[in-house]
Amino acid sequence: MAASSVLPMVAVSLADILSPAQSGLDAVSARLFEVAPDQHPALTAATEQLLAAGGKRLRPALALLSGQIFDADSELAVALAAAVEMLHTATLVHDDLIDGSLLRRGIATLNSNWSPDATVLTGDYLFARAASFAAQTGSVRVMELFANTLMVIVNGEIQQKYPNGKTVPGADYYKRIYAKTASLFVLAAEAGGELGGAAPAYLDALRTYGREVGTAFQIVDDVLDFSGSADRTGKTAGSDLRHGLITLPLLHYARLRPQDADAQAVLRGDSVDRVLSDRLVSAVCNSAAIRSSLNEAREFARRGQAALQNLPDCSAAGSLLAIAEFIVDRDL
């Protein structure tokens, strides 16, 4: 793929970007809503509620597009994409319970209405459904990638809850967002190529793309926690702050304003009330921290694009390039 294929920052609809994968995404949606034999009605209702919340379906799209580049079997690629999306959905169930979140994308979370044990069991069931989809690819390597990704995600959550020793606040930020977000992008991109029999050099490129673009995605999410409207993000600004999460905009702001008492309180791990978080959100949004964080996200996205430059030139590869652009400009 020629260097000129790296797209400038332009406004392109996500529907246009994902058009090469649309038929596959429709098939993925049908698979996700399938009811397993003897599935309890409560699990069916919970699954439908979670999937109805929508989302951009970027992760399954990456799996489908990566598979298309290397002519992977379409049914196997759909099974992989369903596994990736169901794994993502399962992690959200547990995340919302751990964080005590009552809303996601403006819709009530399972834990807002269900007991903790029922919520955990539902998340566990969705993990099993995801593994079942992954097994349907018939690839031991895909199953290995799936299992390794799940271990990375869970280990990252444990590390966040029980950090090893005293570290500089925010020092683990990139490792944390890799575990939380980028690892799933890596799984989708690499496993799609694996199903198509991509050569090792191409798999390395897809792995790099997933890591860089997934990191960019999470940085933008962290920016939107400060600057996004509740109508767009489905949550109030500063929710990460109130959960004690140190994200890139705060780290940039703390470097710009090292004497800010509110920022230092969060970095120390002090409790954060609504008044402090609102004050700090306003301060961060009125500083250069948002712009510098977005610039960093764009650098990650560009590195992801650069990793694809030697891949076969086709519409699916072009969509992967465009997804990197979309990610850093979405909802801003």
Instruction: Provide the domain count of the chain.
Output: 1
Higher pLDDT, 244 or 299: 299
pLDDT at 239 over 90: no
Determine the pLDDT at residue 279.
Answer: 94
Determine the pLDDT at residue 241.
Answer: 87
User: 181: pLDDT confidence band, cut at 50, 70 and 90?
Assistant: very high
Determine the pLDDT at residue 165.
Answer: 61
> Under 8 Å CB-to-CB from 226, ≥6 apart: which residues?
237, 238, 249, 281, 284, 285, 290
Q: What are phi and psi of 185, to 5 degrees?
A: -65, -40
User: pLDDT tens digits, residue range 263-306?
Assistant: 999 998 888 889 999 999 999 999 999 999 999 999 999 999 99
User: pLDDT tens digits, residue range 114-140?
Assistant: 888 888 999 999 999 999 999 999 999
What is residue 27's three-state secondary structure?
A: helix
Cα 69 to Cα 318: distance, rounded to the nearest angstrom: 10
Cα 218 to Cα 204: distance, rounded to the nearest angstrom: 21
pLDDT at 168 over 80: no
Specify the pTM: 0.92
Mean pLDDT value of segment 21-25: 97
CATH number at residue 54: 1.10.600.10
User: pLDDT tens digits, residue range 78-124?
Assistant: 999 999 999 999 999 988 888 777 667 667 788 888 888 888 999 99
How many CB atoms sit inside 10 A of residue 2's CB? 7
Mean pLDDT value of segment 163-171: 68
Evaluated on CA atoms 233, 234, 238, 240, the torsion sign reads negative
User: 332: pLDDT confidence band, cut at 50, 70 and 90?
Assistant: low
Evaluated on CA atoms 104, 105, 106, 107, the torsion sign reads negative
Determine the pLDDT at residue 167.
Answer: 64
Average pLDDT score, the chain: 90
User: pLDDT tens digits, residue range 43-72?
Assistant: 999 999 888 877 789 999 999 999 999 999
Which domain, by its residues, includes 17?
3-329
User: 314: pLDDT confidence band, cut at 50, 70 and 90?
Assistant: very high
Determine the pLDDT at residue 166.
Answer: 61
User: pLDDT tens digits, residue range 185-229?
Assistant: 999 999 999 999 999 999 999 999 999 999 999 999 999 999 977
Determine the pLDDT at residue 62.
Answer: 98
